[in-house]
Amino acid sequence: MIKLAAVSRTFDGRSGRVEALRGIDLDVAEGEFVAVLGRSGCGKSTLLRMIAGLLPVTEGEITVAGAPITRPRRDIAMLFQRPALLPWRSVLDNVLLPVEIFGWSRSKHRERARELLDLTGLGGFEKRLPHELSGGMQQRVSLCRSLIGEPRVMLMDEPFSALDALTREELSGELQRVHMETKATIVFVTHSIDEAVLLADRVVVLSPRPGRIRDILEVDIPRPRTLGRNAHLAEVARVSAELHELLMERDGPAGTPAASGTGGR
Ligand X SMILES: Nc1ncnc2c1ncn2[C@@H]1O[C@H](COP(=O)(O)OP(=O)(O)O)[C@@H](O)[C@H]1O
Residues 4-33 that bind ligand X (CB under 6 A): 11, 13, 18, 20
Q: 28: which strand partners? A: 2
**Distance between CA atoms of residues 101 and 113, nearest Å:** 15
Listed ranges 41-49, 96-104, 174-182, 193-201: which one lies at the site for ligand X (CB under 6 A): 41-49
Residue 9 — φ and ψ, nearest 5°? -145, 125
Q: Which of residues 68-107 bind ligand X (CB under 6 A)?
A: none
Q: Are 150 and 122 in contact (CB under 8 A)?
A: no
Min dist. Cβ of residue 16 to ligand X (A): 10
Q: At what angle do helices 106-119 and 165-182 cross, to 10 degrees?
A: 130
* Residue whose CB is less far from ligand X, 13 or 228: 13
Site string for Mg ion, 37-56 (x = CB under 5 A): -------xx-----------
172, 157, 177: which is closest to 228 by C-alpha?
172
If binding is defined by CB under 6 A, does position 159 make contact with ligand X?
A: no
Closest CB to Mg ion: residue number: 45
* Surface-to-core class of residue 77, CB atoms within 10 Å of its CB (0-12 exposed, 13-18 middle, 19+ buried): buried
Q: How far is the CB of 38 from ligand X (least distance, A)?
A: 6
Residue 99 has phi, psi (to 5 degrees) of -60, -40
Q: List, in order, residues 6 or more apart from 145 with CB less than 8 Å away.
A: 85, 94, 95, 97, 98
Residue 13's binding partner, choosing from Mg ion, ligand X, none, with beta-carbon cut-off 5 to 8 A by kind?
A: ligand X
Binding ligand X (rule: CB under 6 A), the pick from 2, 4, 33, 43 is 43
Contact assessment for residue 149 and residue 105, using Cβ atoms and an 8 Å cutoff: no
Residue closer to ligand X by CB (options 9, 179) is 9
- Cβ proximity to ligand X: between 13 and 87 the closer is 13
List interacting residues with ligand X (CB under 6 A).
11, 13, 18, 20, 38, 40-46
